[in-house]
């Protein structure tokens, strides 16, 4: 018991090693932790408190919102907008950037988040999560959209919280990836998974195969070769998973390796893929790279993309290095 390291202790100790990082960052992270603990509690209570089901409204991306999409978005905003640690926010569920109300001081960071990832799973009691990305912002300014449109490689910190059988936070500040499990009895995240690294040897892929007819040739080739198993060019059998929660897929890959694809999709030319760059692909990409994996569109490194829009979508291929490298090679050849 004595040597259990809490998330706060871990961050303060890590912060001491980082030049130019102040105590504000620890406080900001604590704000996010508080919000995620509230969300964890609500997710756990579920229909006991009537929070499941559809809200019968649409977000900016035309997706039908669940009640919990709206509730979790409000929790994040209300936990972060008054503390003085942020200059602004952005959320999957909000069209424009979210300003800090005039009466509150402004800090030097920007927070972007997907308050409830995998929300189609909420009504069937499967794992959902919260994803966040922290960017720096010039101090003392009222940020505009342009201030948010930073490349993923400039993130200060990225993380996600998984509301599964355990509630876990996975975090990187650019010095590896660490996993913390929420001890519900004392209300603290405890370091349980230090220095997470993605195993490179893998035979597991995750893709929504119902979209197969819309994929490009390189992805068709990769999946086809996996499906041929021992008798095919890969000479081994593959397993498949699809949880429909990015957070759950990424956690699985961090734990036992594998590859996840939400590739370019010919369904709708205005949507190159499904996942959103700024609050899904970038934070997850930062974590995957810090754990030794690769995160690509198939044609370029996700973290190198210069964003043009807060809610822009990108193809995402991530996971064990050798598998993603192979898929990128197929794109180059195609
Ligand atoms: P969100 O619930 O935040 O809109 O994200 C859902 C995403 C992602 O978590 C998951 O990988 C993917 O959508 C699932 O897509 P399908 O509906 O095609 O399975
Ligand atoms: Mn999401
Ligand atoms: Mn969401």
- DSSP letters, 100-133, are PPTTS---SEEEEEEEEETGGGGGGT--EEEEEE
Mean pLDDT of the chain: 95
- CA of 117 relative to ligand 2 center, distance in Å: 4
pTM: 0.97
171 CA → ligand 2 middle, Å:
17
Coil, strand, or helix at residue 175?
A: coil
Kindly report, as residue ranges, where domains of CATH 3.40.190.80 are found in the chain.
204-333
Task: Please tell me the residue having the least CA distance from ligand 1 atom 17.
Answer: 244
Name residue 6's beta-bridge partners. Answer: 190
Is the pLDDT at 319 greater than 60, yes or no?
yes
Q: From atom 7 of ligand 1, which residue's Cα is the shortest distance away? A: 118
pLDDT at 145: 98
Pocket probe for ligand 1: among 112, 215, 246, 271, the residue whose CB has the most ligand atoms within 8 Å is 246
CB of 134 closer than 8 Å to CB of 152: no
Strands annotated E in the chain:
54-58, 64-66, 86-91, 98-99, 109-117, 128-136, 157-163, 167-172, 178-183, 188-193, 204-207, 239-240, 259-262, 294-296, 316-319
Compute the distance between CA of residue 319 and CA of residue 200 in angstroms, rounded to an integer: 9
Residue 13: name the closest of 175, 168, 153, 135 by CA.
175
Look at ligand 1, atom 16, and give the residue with the nearest C-alpha. 244
pLDDT reading at 1 higher than 70: no
Please give the pLDDT value at position 14: 85
Contact 143, 137 (CB under 8 A): yes
Q: What is the DSSP string of 61-92?
A: TSPEEEHHHHHHHHHHHHHHSSSSSEEEEEET
Minimum-distance ligand 1 atom for the alpha carbon of 61: 4
Query: Using CA atoms, how far apart are residues 182 and 142, in angstroms rounded to an integer?
Result: 35
**pLDDT at residue 278 in the model:** 98
In sequence order, the β-bridge partners of residue 261 are 207, 317
Residue 73 CA to its chain's centroid (Å): 15
Of the pLDDT bands very low, low, confident and very high (cuts 50, 70, 90), residue 334 is confident
- Per the listing, tokens 């912002």 go with 137
The model's pLDDT over 101-122, given as tens digits with 9 standing for 90+, comes to 999 999 999 999 999 999 999 9
Q: For position 16, what pLDDT does the model report? A: 82
Q: Which of 275, 276, 281, 314 to mutate to test the pocket of ligand 1 (most atoms within 8 A of CB)?
A: 275
Is the pLDDT at 2 greater than 70? The verdict is no
> What confidence score (pLDDT) does residue 140 get?
78
Report which bound ligand comes closest to the CA of 121.
1
The answer on pLDDT for 155 being more than 70 is yes
Q: How far apart, in Å, are the Cα atoms of 332 and each of 200, 287, 318?
A: 22, 25, 16
Mean pLDDT of 177-182: 98
Which-ligand-closest: CA of 246?
1
Query: Of all atoms in ligand 1, which is nearest to the CA of residue 116?
Result: 3
Atom of ligand 1 minimally distant from the CA of 120 = 2
Ligand 1 atom at minimal distance to the Cα of residue 244: 14
CATH for 204-333, among 3.40.1550.10, 3.40.190.80, 3.30.479.30, 3.90.79.10? 3.40.190.80
Tokens of 188: 């603290």
Using one digit for the tens of pLDDT, what is the confidence trace for 232-286? 999 999 999 999 999 999 999 999 999 999 999 888 888 889 999 999 999 999 9
Asked whether the beta carbons of 309 and 271 are under 8 A apart, the reply is: no
For residue 214, what are the contacts with CB-CB under 8 A and spacing of at least 6?
265, 266, 267
Ligand 3: distance of its center to the CA of 296 in Å? 21
When the candidates are 3.30.70.120, 3.40.50.2300, 3.30.70.270, 3.30.540.10, the CATH number that belongs to 7-193 is: 3.30.540.10
Is residue 124 exposed (0-12), middle (13-18) or buried (19+ Cβ within 10 Å)? exposed
User: Residues 182-190: what's their mean pLDDT?
Assistant: 96
Q: What is the dihedral of CA 228, 230, 232, 238, to 10 degrees?
A: 40
How far is residue 158's CA from residue 279's CA, in Å, rounded to a whole number? 9
The CATH 3.30.540.10 portion of the chain extends over 7-193
Averaged pLDDT for residues 4-28:
86
The helix or strand, by DSSP H or E, that contains position 222, with its residue range, turns out to be helix 217-227
Give the mutation target among 262, 288, 313 for probing the ligand 1 site: most ligand atoms within 8 A of CB: 262
Q: What b/e readout covers 72-103, taking b as 16+ CB neighbours within 10 angstroms?
A: bbebbbebbbebebbbbbbbbbbeebbebeee
pLDDT tens-digit readout, 49-86: 888 999 888 888 888 899 999 999 999 999 999 999 99
Ligand 1 pocket, Cβ-based, cut-off 6 angstroms:
63, 92, 114, 117-120, 208, 244-246, 274
Q: Which percentage of the chain shows pLDDT scores above 70?
A: 99
């Amino acid at each position: 018991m004595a040597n259990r390291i809490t998330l706060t202790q871990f961050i303060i100790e890590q912060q001491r090693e980082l030049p130019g990082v102040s105590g504000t960052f620890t406080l900001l992270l604590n704000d996010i932790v508080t919000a995620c603990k509230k969300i964890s509690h609500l997710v756990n209570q579920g229909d006991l408190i009537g929070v499941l089901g559809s809200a019968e409204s649409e977000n900016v991306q035309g997706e039908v919102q669940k009640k919990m999409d709206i509730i979790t978005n409000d929790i994040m905003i209300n936990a972060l907008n008054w503390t003085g640690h942020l200059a602004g926010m952005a959320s999957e569920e909000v069209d424009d950037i979210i300003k800090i109300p005039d009466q509150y001081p402004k800090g030097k960071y920007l927070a972007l988040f997907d308050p409830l990832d995998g929300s189609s799973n909420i009504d069937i009691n499967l794992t959902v999560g919260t994803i966040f990305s922290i960017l720096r912002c010039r101090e003392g300014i009222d940020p505009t959209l342009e201030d948010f449109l930073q490349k993923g490689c400039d993130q200060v910190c990225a993380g996600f919280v998984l509301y599964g059988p355990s509630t876990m936070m996975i975090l990187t500040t650019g010095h590896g990836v660490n996993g913390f499990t929420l001890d519900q009895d004392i209300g603290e995240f405890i370091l349980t998974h230090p220095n997470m690294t993605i195993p490179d040897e893998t035979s597991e892929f995750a893709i929504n195969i119902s979209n197969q007819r819309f994929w490009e040739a390189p992805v068709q080739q990769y999946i086809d070769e996996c499906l041929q198993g021992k008798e095919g060019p890969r000479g081994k059998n593959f397993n498949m998973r699809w949880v429909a929660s990015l957070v759950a897929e990424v956690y699985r890959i961090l734990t036992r390796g594998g590859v996840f694809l939400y590739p370019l999709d010919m369904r709708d030319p205005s949507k190159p893929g499904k996942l959103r760059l700024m609050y899904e692909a970038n934070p997850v990409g930062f974590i995957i790279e810090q754990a030794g994996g690769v995160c690509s569109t198939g044609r370029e490194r996700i973290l190198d993309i210069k964003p043009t829009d807060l809610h822009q979508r990108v193809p995402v291929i991530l996971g064990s290095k050798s598998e993603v490298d192979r898929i990128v090679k197929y794109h180059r050849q195609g």
